[in-house]
Chain A
Amino acid sequence: MTVLLQTKGLTKRFQGLVANEDVDFTLSMGEVRSVIGPNGAGKTTFISMISGHLRPTSGAIFYNGQDITRQSLPVRASHGIIRKFQTPSVFTGLSVYQNIELSVIASRAASRHTAARVGEVMELVRLNDQARTLASTLSHGQRQWLEIGMLLGAQAQLLLLDEPTAGMTAEETNATGVLINDLTQELNLSAIIIEHDINFIKSLKAPITVLHLGKVFREGTFEQISADPEVRAIYLGTD
């Protein structure tokens, strides 16, 4: 399979604190990857360096074979690397339609296709009957979907999803898992998903990268990772 994203020796230091150290990571085109790890493992820092929100201290990021380490955030986004934030970040004062419309405008799609594209995306994230609803009055789960819809509207190729099910009910979490699997398979998108919800990670059936203290600790399938005593130890402690 073709490599979509690759990081080499990616390191981020905040003053004395090492948030990420020497992270080598490879993602194939169309692949979904779960990134897990205890609090403070450096998951969000890692995603932020890929999205362009943070500059790495050292190391390099390659996307479609091109070195993007020095590219700015909007440039990366226009190449399809788009991030969903841990706390849903939407245009709260605007309607669902207007939210998606802005993301489609951001993708620089021809204006005559805008309305059709907005309709398509609203259908994909199951918000088509909420077009006129203000984003501020959506439920927490719907807001997460709206933000995912905005990544689609902006024509993301690589979805960076930071805790997409945070604050969702069990039912919403399940639906989100189905949604992400559908999207990545139907539209051949790739995704890196940070999560804590173990049932959700299981339902994704995606390979897992475990981060611990800023480094890659393990990589493997859900079965391998969940059976690994050392992974259990870093979550629960050994002594």
Chain B
Amino acid sequence: MAFHILARFDGEAKFAVVVFVLLALIPAALGGYTTYILPQYMCFGILAMSLALLWGYTGILSFGQAGFFAIGGYLMGLVLSGAIPFGGFVVALLLAAGLGYVVAALLGYFLFSAGVRDAYFVIVTLALSIIVEQLAVSQSQLTGGWNGMFVMRPEVDLVVAKVNLYGDLPAFYTVLAIVALVYVLLHVYTRSRHGKILVGIRENEARLTSLGVNTAWKKTLAFALSGAVAAFGGALYAMHSGFVSPSLGGVLFSTEVVVWVAIAGRTSLLGALLGGIAVSWLSSIISAWTPAYWQLFVGLIFIVTIVFFRDGVAGAIAQISRKRRSKT
């Protein structure tokens, strides 16, 4: 069995290396606009992984991920504009993750220790998205209200060298490196003891409680981590896109995140990452082609995937490779 786990680990790790190498080659291969826009989709990939951790691994669905993403985005904007009078890009990223963690931990603590679960939890996370969006609108002296907030790309002092993120190429590779780091950390986390407990919660929470695990506490930690990752992704996105607006925290965007992850496969971090990138990329291609109907097309893809592959594309691939292995 230990070999079995190792084999699976190597399988996805190898695949991940290929994916990141291919992503690194994209500026050379496609260049231009793709180099500019792809890092933003990679930030959506981080957001998708934050949901996969919660939904795919722990079995808790959240419609509040965009709320955390926006929290991170605004925080980055406030730091880089000097409204928060300390720190720079790196500090803002860490602050965003910390704030996302604290907000999610507080919310999770009250909800999970009170036994709130399933649809009721989803409704509260939905409300969280709405609250963040409304706050972004109403606190216009800080956030710019409906007009949104412009974020200046910074120059980052990396001890060895100064990187000016204003150029698209350095920005691309900075974001790619950070995304890869987040993926690796989350991957290691899901294979830790705590990560295994999350899977146990998904599979049979009552059994785990009866074995002596305080699952409310573990779920709170999982939600906090997921909030931290989503806010971190939002902060990175804000730096790159140069603009945050209230809709970034809204219910609509939260729903899109759920769609990405459902299509790509919620039980695979790499799947979710690729889903976040591919589906949001595809969405923008379709919306450029048919601005009125693009959501209809994404909706169709969503329905078809769910009907034919309940566990998304990654789930289908895993199933095929399992069948092949059992044949040999």
What residues of chain A have their CB less than 8 Å away from a CB belonging to chain B?
51, 53, 73-78, 82-83, 85, 89-95, 97-98, 101-103, 105-107, 111, 115, 131-132, 150-151, 154
A75 to B209 CA separation, bound complex (whole angstroms): 9
Whole-angstrom distance between the Cβ of B314 and the nearest chain A Cβ? 16
* Nearest 10 A/B pairs, CB to CB: A77-B212, A91-B203, A97-B1, A106-B211, A78-B212, A154-B211, A102-B200, A131-B1, A89-B207, A74-B214
Whole-angstrom distance between the Cβ of B134 and the nearest chain A Cβ? 38
- Determine whether B206 belongs to the interface, using a CB cutoff of 8 Å to chain A: yes
Given A101-B196, A132-B1: A51 in contact with B203 (beta carbons within 8 A): no
Contact of B193 among A78, A105, A132 (CB under 8 A): A105
Is B210 touching A51 in the complex (CB atoms < 8 A)?
yes
Q: Which secondary structure dominates chain A's binding surface?
A: helix
A89 to B2 CA separation, bound complex (whole angstroms): 24
A93 to B212 CA separation, bound complex (whole angstroms): 20
Whole-angstrom distance between the Cβ of A160 and the nearest chain B Cβ? 10
Residues from chain B with a CB closer than 8 A to the CB of A83 are 210
Whole-angstrom distance between the Cβ of A56 and the nearest chain B Cβ? 18
Residues from chain B with a CB closer than 8 A to the CB of A93 are 203
Whole-angstrom distance between the Cβ of B113 and the nearest chain A Cβ? 11
Residues from chain A with a CB closer than 8 A to the CB of B2 are 115
A107 to B1 CA separation, bound complex (whole angstroms): 21
Given A78-B212, A97-B1: A91 in contact with B200 (beta carbons within 8 A): yes
Is A94 touching B199 in the complex (CB atoms < 8 A)?
yes
A85 to B210 CA separation, bound complex (whole angstroms): 10
Is B1 touching A150 in the complex (CB atoms < 8 A)?
no
Residues from chain B with a CB closer than 8 A to the CB of A78 are 212
- Determine whether B328 belongs to the interface, using a CB cutoff of 8 Å to chain A: no
- Determine whether B204 belongs to the interface, using a CB cutoff of 8 Å to chain A: yes
Q: Which of the listed residues A51, A78, A85, A91 has the most CB atoms from chain B within 10 Å of its own CB?
A: A91
- Determine whether B29 belongs to the interface, using a CB cutoff of 8 Å to chain A: no
Is A102 touching B1 in the complex (CB atoms < 8 A)?
no
Residues from chain A with a CB closer than 8 A to the CB of B213 are 74, 77, 106
Least CB separation from B206: chain A residue: A89
Is A91 touching B193 in the complex (CB atoms < 8 A)?
no
- Determine whether B197 belongs to the interface, using a CB cutoff of 8 Å to chain A: yes
Residues from chain A with a CB closer than 8 A to the CB of B200 are 91, 94, 102
Is A102 touching B206 in the complex (CB atoms < 8 A)?
no
Residues from chain A with a CB closer than 8 A to the CB of B152 are none
Is B212 touching A106 in the complex (CB atoms < 8 A)?
yes
Q: List B residues 226-275 near A (Cβ within 8 Å).
A: none
Is B210 touching A111 in the complex (CB atoms < 8 A)?
no
What residues of chain B have their CB less than 8 Å away from a CB belonging to chain A?
1-2, 4, 193, 196-197, 199-200, 203-204, 206-215
Is A111 touching B203 in the complex (CB atoms < 8 A)?
no
A97 to B8 CA separation, bound complex (whole angstroms): 15
Is B211 touching A150 in the complex (CB atoms < 8 A)?
yes
Whole-angstrom distance between the Cβ of A44 and the nearest chain B Cβ? 14
Residues from chain B with a CB closer than 8 A to the CB of A51 are 210
Is A102 touching B209 in the complex (CB atoms < 8 A)?
no
Whole-angstrom distance between the Cβ of B199 and the nearest chain A Cβ? 7
Given A91-B200, A94-B199: A82 in contact with B1 (beta carbons within 8 A): no
Residues from chain A with a CB closer than 8 A to the CB of B4 are 95, 132
5 additional contacts (CB under 8 A) given A77-B212, A82-B211, A95-B1: A77-B210, A90-B204, A105-B193, A106-B213, A154-B211
Least CB separation from A92: chain B residue: B203
Given A91-B203, A91-B204, A97-B1: A73 in contact with B209 (beta carbons within 8 A): yes
Is A111 touching B193 in the complex (CB atoms < 8 A)?
yes
Is A89 touching B209 in the complex (CB atoms < 8 A)?
no
**15 sampled A-B residue pairs with Cβ under 8 A:** A73-B209, A74-B214, A77-B212, A82-B210, A85-B207, A90-B204, A90-B207, A91-B203, A93-B203, A95-B1, A102-B208, A106-B197, A131-B1, A154-B211, A154-B212
A1 to B69 CA separation, bound complex (whole angstroms): 61
Given A102-B196, A105-B193, A132-B4: A94 in contact with B203 (beta carbons within 8 A): yes
Q: Which of the listed residues A92, A94, A95 has the most CB atoms from chain B within 10 Å of its own CB?
A: A94
Whole-angstrom distance between the Cβ of B40 and the nearest chain A Cβ? 35
A151 to B211 CA separation, bound complex (whole angstroms): 7
Least CB separation from B1: chain A residue: A97
Whole-angstrom distance between the Cβ of A156 and the nearest chain B Cβ? 9
Least CB separation from A114: chain B residue: B193
A71 to B200 CA separation, bound complex (whole angstroms): 23
Is B208 touching A106 in the complex (CB atoms < 8 A)?
yes
Whole-angstrom distance between the Cβ of B72 and the nearest chain A Cβ? 32
Residues from chain A with a CB closer than 8 A to the CB of B215 are 74
A49 to B212 CA separation, bound complex (whole angstroms): 16
Residues from chain A with a CB closer than 8 A to the CB of B210 are 51, 53, 73, 77, 82-83, 85, 89
Contact of A150 among B193, B196, B199, B207 (CB under 8 A): B207
Least CB separation from B214: chain A residue: A74
Residues from chain A with a CB closer than 8 A to the CB of B214 are 74
Is A89 touching B204 in the complex (CB atoms < 8 A)?
yes
Residues from chain A with a CB closer than 8 A to the CB of B196 are 98, 101-102, 105
Residues from chain B with a CB closer than 8 A to the CB of A73 are 209-210
Whole-angstrom distance between the Cβ of B11 and the nearest chain A Cβ? 16
